Structure 1
Amino acid sequence: MAESDTVRPSPEALLAEAQRHERGRLKIFLGAAPGVGKTYEMLSVARRKLAEGVDVAVGIVETHGRQETEALLHGLPRIPRRRLTHRERELEELDLDALLEHKPRLALVDELAHTNVPGSRHAKRYQDVQELLDAGIDVYTTLNVQHLESFNDIVGRITGVEVRETVPDAIIEQAHDVELIDLPPDDLIERLRQGKVYVPDAARRALDHYFSRGNLLALRELALRAASERVDDDMSVFMRAHAIAGPWPARGRLIVCVDATAASEHVIRTAKRLADQRHLPWTAIYVQTLGSATSARARLDANLALASQLGADTAILTGDRVGEVIVEYSRTHNAAQIVVGRSMDVRHRFWPRRRLAQWLLDHATDFEITIVAAPINGSGDGRPVQSDRARKWLTSRDVALAIGFSAGAAVIGKLLEPYTDSASLALIFLLAATFAGATGGLVASVLCSVIAFTAYNYLFTEPRYSLSVDNPQDVTTLVVFLAVSFVVGQLAARLRRQAHDAWLSTRRVETLFDFSRRLATAVDDRDLLTAAATGLSELLGKRCVVLRANAQHRADPPVELERAGEFRDTDQAAADWAIGHRETAGRGTGTLPAAAWYFVPIQQSGEVFGVIGVHLPATSDGVDAEQNRLLFTLQTQLAAACERFRLREAAQSAQIQKAAESLRAALLASVSHDLRTPLVSITGALTALRELSHRIPEEDQDRLLGSAIGEAQRLNRLIQNLLDMTRLSHGALALRASAVDVRDAVSQAISQLDGVLAGHQVDVLIPATLPPVHADATLLGQVLANLLENAGKFAPSGTTVRVDAHATADAIYVTVADRGPGIPAAERGRVFDLFYRAGQRDNGTAGAGMGLAISKGFVEAMGGKIGIADSAEGTAVEIQLPRAPAVIPA
């Protein structure tokens, strides 16, 4: 391979760099601790930008009463803060909407890790900053290193203080510039003593605890590390985007093993730091086994959510052999490193983390294994954080099942004791252990085995009612019984779990298949949304809605829910925000958490089709990790269905446009000749009269004038047909139905066609007693004129055109017949199509092919029918119209 190929620019790096330039630019002033001068430096830079002519606005800046900071703030344009009441206190917050409306070039937003007052659009200030960046506004902000999520546990161990306000590391990774504001620890301590950071009493407490010199040195090192990693990321992106060769690390993936314990938080943060240092993508996995405790599900969801927040992919796997599942997953996902925690407290663990770590060291020889020791607790006494599983491995239900089955076996054994020997009674207790395992699981089975062993020894072996054993054969029976009960109970528990997992898997597959089938069989948008909402509700076990995005990039409100008071303004705002920003919003998120619904945007190929809304109870913190993954999977299917409907609509629009183009071409081809011919005739006749009137006899002048008038009338009828066609196609036909005498309508139509019918004999065979029809007189006249004009044009000169009519009990039939060439039987159904001419031959007869189509539209609009009647010679067109209602004399 040529060297130019090996160092070509990376498309992914170029795309990432282009996307960074599309948004606003974020600059973070990073410090090791409060008081180092972050806000001061930010305001100083902002004042220089203002002097350069940049539109600067202060969104929110906290001076904490420092006079030198207040002086720098003076003169900078400010956006008034928003006032909120919380717990009977009036508080001030950043007015995000006002700042977005003002849209300065540069906004100053202090304290990035700040938690907003409840009732704000976002739970955290860094989310406000994200929205400003999405709007194209540059932002300057400040941040202390202890607020970075990946350093949170380290800061807690160093300072003994748990920092609750954290910022995802992705924020600092997205920043265009990170400026480290460094101040030596001794100088910062001196500032504290001088009261330049906190008031004197608070400063003394800070010096005794958080701001000790050792703590400040450690925090300063963390800040330097964060800044250096950020610089290294920038250099890597630049080198890849500009095809600069370098010693790139081998690519792979880092796998971190998590469980439902508090210690996993430390393991996850450690894995995040390792992934950043090695520039590796990483995945947090949890292996669900037979002994997995469902009571710790909330802790597991929190751990997976933390990993996702720090930028990891997450996966929940199933299997009995945890180590093998981890290794297989790591191999199939090209992992280079596995990170696993080592628990120090394994007294009550059926699957201790230490044992898993050792198994990985022994068997996963193809991977780099990193073992993370358990962190000490926040008190700093050196004791490990107690595992949630260690506290919850045994439940009251397990104890009740074990005692219940053992007691039942004892009662049955006593009842059967007179009829069988003691060895046979052991099978009853073995059966009890099996039932305990099948009903309650592994722990209940083991506990039942121990209780049943004790009860059998106490009640049925000699000496009775004692735990001692006299007969050596009974000792063998007891030992075998205990071993078999252990094995059978565990097998029963495993079978129960596998059956339950198989049932869940089958149910999920069936429901997913049904969901896909519903989406595939939906016939329109409304049907699609209804089917999707029903399927989602069944899959998630929660009330769901699917709202479509309108042209204004907002969610169409659910009218029925609004009327029932179940969809408030806050819910609508969350749905609109999810569509506009293509991110989740609502309950359980950091954006509009006061909403009662959790919204997920339906998006594919850069287009947002709508949102999925999941209703959550007020006590809920959001959907769990597994449901969230399922929700995003279903969102992908729904987005694909919406894309399919959009493409189908586009195809239909293209077909309609193609048909319109064909119609336009046919109109031009058909009408152009018919328009030009009368105009030429009229122009020729009038030109001759003007230039040669003194030489043309008066009789010939009258003939020329009559020809011009006839052609003008013909042109008028053609224009009228075009107008009528337009009215029919747009549904703008206004009917004025009344009782119409057919003989009068025929006579009026014949009088309009003197020129066309001049060479024909017209026989009108309509009885004087014919009842009137219920029709629009004008439209009926145009229908008859079109039929008579066709007969006059296509029938040979000298032939007869016949008009007759007759009545039935509820209808009037009018027939116009000629002795022309007729219409082939195969074409009788098409002659009423627009622009179609029978035979499609050029016989010298003018015609646009609109007369019969317009006549059909008029007749059907009047409630009648029109068709080609059987005729021995020529063409016969028959009209059927309803009879006019009889008029009852007064």
Structure 2
Amino acid sequence: MTRTAPDSRWQRVRPARGLEAVLDRRFGLAGSVLVGLAVGAGAIALKAALNTLADGETGYILLAAAVVVAAWLGGLPGGLTATLFALILNSAIFLPSLGAVEAAIRVEQVREIVFLLAGSGIAILVGSRRAARDRLVDALDEVASLATDVEARDARLEVMLAASGTGFWEWDIRTGGLVWSEAIFRQHGLEPGQEAPDLATYLATIHPDDLAAHQAATTAARNGTGTFSLDFRCLWPDGSIHWTHGAGRVFFDEDGQAARMIGTGQDITERRRVEEERDRLLAEERRAGEFREAFIDVISHELRTPITTILGLTQILARPGRSDDREARMALLEDVRAESERLHRLVEDLLVLSRVERGAFVVEMEPLEPRRLIERVVAQETGELPSLAISVAIEPALPIVAGEGTYVEQILRNLLGNAAKYTPDGTRIVVDARREGEHVAIRVLDDGPGIPQTSIERIFELFYRDPDSARTVSGSGIGLFVCASLAEAMGGRMWGRRRPEGGSEFGFTMRSLEPDPLDAVGEPVASEL
């Protein structure tokens, strides 16, 4: 059988079967008639040559054989043509040779009638067999052609699947048996050529967090949708995690019951990685945009306020006659100092924030005495907040801790300043410090309204401020974020919560450099500065 390349399915050449195929293809009915005439004439010529060697019946057997040949080569038209033409020639050639012998003529006429009937029957029989044979050959040709087309499609499909990292699978729902292509084995970190795992083993390779979704999708396909499509993670034997996109279709039996599912699997690990990286970059870009907007807002409001105040106070001080009123001048200078201190602390927070955002934040760890740091900061803040009573409760023999003193003081000042904003005048703020295992916990407790329940999860987010308090209390939304960043950079943690008895608690931990003592620790000693 001759065929063109598999992808040229419309350019087919019918397979050659011999002389009869050539005649049919080139001449059709005319060719069949010519075959009949030629075979009939040849048979009569051969009969004439053999007539002296054999009796009349033998000659007619030769003519019958010629009809068989003509019918096979030319089909029914060829067989009938050979029968009629041979009969005509036989009458024209052999009847005159009998002379006037009536008995011989009648016998020959009977032979001709018998030959006509027999030849026609032979032509019909052989022609029908020839037609049946042609139909069978055509059917076989079509089957072979279809098989070749299927093989070509399969080959192209395999190339496309391999190029896209896609494999195919089949699941016998009744028995649970699985059939995997080589690509599916590779998508599960397995070598091809082995038996596909059973259903339970396969399900064990699906990531636990995706198993429920996988089972729900297959159940929905079996019970109604008829199709399955899901992205899920697979656990490889080496412990690595890979993403797969599975898609399939359910085939139902005559009773409408799900019988099997056939589908594809594609390794999308790289695609998911790219998507996650894209999402990360978009999130970073969005966060950077939000940061810029919030930062500009802080600069335009929180920095402008103290700068404007300082500028106004210095202009007042520069007016003629102010230099003689020493008491008024000192009050104005104190206001300038307070606003300058406020500006200084905001700039310190902004510097820390900038380093954290750039990933350039470095802490120089050193041994610190937490008691001394706490007492120094409380003493400074007491002068800044005369309307509040700040007390300390420090555990005796508090151990040395690891940290950077400047940053510890910055945390404490921010927490005390934050507490002062929300604590009514005349109430207390307590700084509590005690050992907790391998850490020292420092807490700032106030009697204010407490942290709103809706804001507890977000209070350490950059630029976040509770919507209700933001309308009545000024602030930048930077301080608590800076405190948490500093505490974590020094190896500790930070928290904020509502106190059961009212007010808020903000605290952080620092790593102790001394082993936990075995003897009992005394009660904290309270003092008011």
Normalising by structure 2, we get a TM-score of: 0.51
**CA positional deviation for 1:808:** 2.4
Rg (Cα) greater in structure: 2
2:425 aligned residue = 797
Work out whether residues 803 and 816 of structure 1, in 8 Å CA contact, stay in contact via their aligned partners in 2.
Answer: yes
Work out whether residues 450 and 503 of structure 2, in 8 Å CA contact, stay in contact via their aligned partners in 1.
Answer: yes
**CA positional deviation for 1:802:** 0.6
Bigger Cα displacement from structure 2, 655-664 vs 773-782: 655-664
In structure 1, what is the Cα distance between the partners aligned to 2:441 and 2:366?
17
Work out whether residues 437 and 516 of structure 2, in 8 Å CA contact, stay in contact via their aligned partners in 1.
Answer: no
Q: Determine if the alignment matches structure 1 residue 758 to structure 2 residue 449.
A: no
1:822 aligned residue = 450
Correspondences of 1:412-427 after superposition (within 5 Å): none
Work out whether residues 401 and 513 of structure 2, in 8 Å CA contact, stay in contact via their aligned partners in 1.
Answer: yes
Change (3 A) 1:518 1:668: farther
Change (3 A) 1:877 1:655: closer
* Unmatched tracts of structure 1, length 5 or more: 1-289, 295-314, 324-345, 360-471, 520-530, 536-640
1:440 aligned residue = none
In structure 1, what is the Cα distance between the partners aligned to 2:368 and 2:149?
79
Work out whether residues 791 and 818 of structure 1, in 8 Å CA contact, stay in contact via their aligned partners in 2.
Answer: yes
Residue identity matched to 1:849: G
Work out whether residues 835 and 849 of structure 1, in 8 Å CA contact, stay in contact via their aligned partners in 2.
Answer: yes
In structure 1, what is the Cα distance between the partners aligned to 2:464 and 2:363?
26
Q: Determine if the alignment matches structure 1 residue 498 to structure 2 residue 146.
A: yes
1:806 aligned residue = 434
Q: Determine if the alignment matches structure 1 residue 661 to structure 2 residue 352.
A: no
Work out whether residues 764 and 803 of structure 1, in 8 Å CA contact, stay in contact via their aligned partners in 2.
Answer: yes
Q: Determine if the alignment matches structure 1 residue 784 to structure 2 residue 475.
A: no
Change (3 A) 1:646 1:774: closer
**CA positional deviation for 1:645:** 10
Correspondences of 1:705-854 after superposition (within 5 Å): 705-754=333-382, 756-854=384-482
Residue identity matched to 1:495: V
2:2 aligned residue = 291
Secondary structure of 1:691's counterpart equals: coil
2:59 aligned residue = none
Aligned pair partner of 2:328 in 700, 703, 710: 700
Residue identity matched to 2:353: M
1:115 aligned residue = none
- More helix per residue: 2
Work out whether residues 800 and 818 of structure 1, in 8 Å CA contact, stay in contact via their aligned partners in 2.
Answer: yes
Work out whether residues 721 and 854 of structure 1, in 8 Å CA contact, stay in contact via their aligned partners in 2.
Answer: yes
Residue identity matched to 2:305: T
1:675 aligned residue = 303
Correspondences of 1:400-439 after superposition (within 5 Å): none
Work out whether residues 444 and 505 of structure 2, in 8 Å CA contact, stay in contact via their aligned partners in 1.
Answer: yes
Q: Determine if the alignment matches structure 1 residue 856 to structure 2 residue 484.
A: yes
Q: Determine if the alignment matches structure 1 residue 881 to structure 2 residue 529.
A: no
In structure 1, what is the Cα distance between the partners aligned to 2:422 and 2:162?
61
In structure 2, what is the Cα distance between the partners aligned to 1:684 and 1:819?
34
Work out whether residues 757 and 792 of structure 1, in 8 Å CA contact, stay in contact via their aligned partners in 2.
Answer: yes
In structure 2, what is the Cα distance between the partners aligned to 1:704 and 1:351?
120
**CA positional deviation for 1:716:** 0.6
In structure 2, what is the Cα distance between the partners aligned to 1:759 and 1:291?
106
Work out whether residues 828 and 868 of structure 1, in 8 Å CA contact, stay in contact via their aligned partners in 2.
Answer: yes
In structure 1, what is the Cα distance between the partners aligned to 2:514 and 2:153?
70
2:41 aligned residue = none
Work out whether residues 795 and 820 of structure 1, in 8 Å CA contact, stay in contact via their aligned partners in 2.
Answer: yes
**CA positional deviation for 1:764:** 1.0
Residue identity matched to 2:9: T
**CA positional deviation for 1:685:** 3.1
Cα-to-partner distance string for 1:165-197 (whole Å, 9 max, x where unaligned): xxxxxxxxxxxxxxxxxxxxxxxxxxxxxxxxx
Cα-to-partner distance string for 1:802-821 (whole Å, 9 max, x where unaligned): 11122222222211111122
Cα-to-partner distance string for 1:285-344 (whole Å, 9 max, x where unaligned): xxxxx73156xxxxxxxxxxxxxxxxxxxx944248679xxxxxxxxxxxxxxxxxxxxx
Change (3 A) 1:696 1:682: farther
Secondary structure of 1:732's counterpart equals: coil
In structure 2, what is the Cα distance between the partners aligned to 1:794 and 1:756?
15
Work out whether residues 802 and 817 of structure 1, in 8 Å CA contact, stay in contact via their aligned partners in 2.
Answer: yes
Identity %: 26
Normalising by structure 1, we get a TM-score of: 0.32
Residue identity matched to 1:292: R
Q: Which has the higher contact order (CA 8 A, sep 6+)?
A: 2
Secondary structure of 2:509's counterpart equals: strand
In structure 1, what is the Cα distance between the partners aligned to 2:470 and 2:131?
102
Bigger Cα displacement from structure 2, 733-742 vs 697-706: 697-706
Aligned residues: 323
Residue identity matched to 1:791: A
Work out whether residues 866 and 877 of structure 1, in 8 Å CA contact, stay in contact via their aligned partners in 2.
Answer: yes
**CA positional deviation for 1:499:** 2.8
Work out whether residues 773 and 882 of structure 1, in 8 Å CA contact, stay in contact via their aligned partners in 2.
Answer: yes
Correspondences of 1:438-449 after superposition (within 5 Å): none
In structure 2, what is the Cα distance between the partners aligned to 1:679 and 1:877?
30
Change (3 A) 1:709 1:887: same
Change (3 A) 1:795 1:517: farther
Cα-to-partner distance string for 1:704-733 (whole Å, 9 max, x where unaligned): 222211211110110111111110011101
Secondary structure of 1:881's counterpart equals: strand
Residue identity matched to 1:705: L
**CA positional deviation for 1:500:** 4.2
Work out whether residues 395 and 435 of structure 2, in 8 Å CA contact, stay in contact via their aligned partners in 1.
Answer: no
Work out whether residues 317 and 323 of structure 2, in 8 Å CA contact, stay in contact via their aligned partners in 1.
Answer: no
In structure 2, what is the Cα distance between the partners aligned to 1:348 and 1:884?
102
Correspondences of 1:385-400 after superposition (within 5 Å): none
Cα-to-partner distance string for 1:855-890 (whole Å, 9 max, x where unaligned): 1112222222211134022111121333225599xx
**CA positional deviation for 1:748:** 3.5
Work out whether residues 869 and 878 of structure 1, in 8 Å CA contact, stay in contact via their aligned partners in 2.
Answer: no
**CA positional deviation for 1:851:** 0.2
Cα-to-partner distance string for 1:428-461 (whole Å, 9 max, x where unaligned): xxxxxxxxxxxxxxxxxxxxxxxxxxxxxxxxxx
Secondary structure of 1:753's counterpart equals: helix
Cα-to-partner distance string for 1:447-488 (whole Å, 9 max, x where unaligned): xxxxxxxxxxxxxxxxxxxxxxxxx99999999988867764
Residue identity matched to 2:389: Q
Work out whether residues 2 and 13 of structure 2, in 8 Å CA contact, stay in contact via their aligned partners in 1.
Answer: no
Change (3 A) 1:748 1:774: same
Change (3 A) 1:349 1:693: farther
| Aligned-residue RMSD, C-alpha | 4.7
Secondary structure of 1:678's counterpart equals: helix
Change (3 A) 1:485 1:351: closer
1:684 aligned residue = 312
Cα-to-partner distance string for 1:501-547 (whole Å, 9 max, x where unaligned): 3244246446646755869xxxxxxxxxxx9xx99xxxxxxxxxxxx
Change (3 A) 1:675 1:791: same
In structure 2, what is the Cα distance between the partners aligned to 1:805 and 1:887?
15
**CA positional deviation for 1:768:** 2.6
Correspondences of 1:352-363 after superposition (within 5 Å): none
In structure 2, what is the Cα distance between the partners aligned to 1:675 and 1:849?
13
Residue identity matched to 1:505: R
Work out whether residues 459 and 465 of structure 2, in 8 Å CA contact, stay in contact via their aligned partners in 1.
Answer: yes
Q: Determine if the alignment matches structure 1 residue 318 to structure 2 residue 29.
A: no
In structure 2, what is the Cα distance between the partners aligned to 1:683 and 1:833?
32
* Unmatched tracts of structure 2, length 5 or more: 29-118, 168-182, 188-269, 518-529
In structure 2, what is the Cα distance between the partners aligned to 1:349 and 1:774?
104
Correspondences of 1:213-292 after superposition (within 5 Å): 291-292=2-3
In structure 1, what is the Cα distance between the partners aligned to 2:498 and 2:472?
26
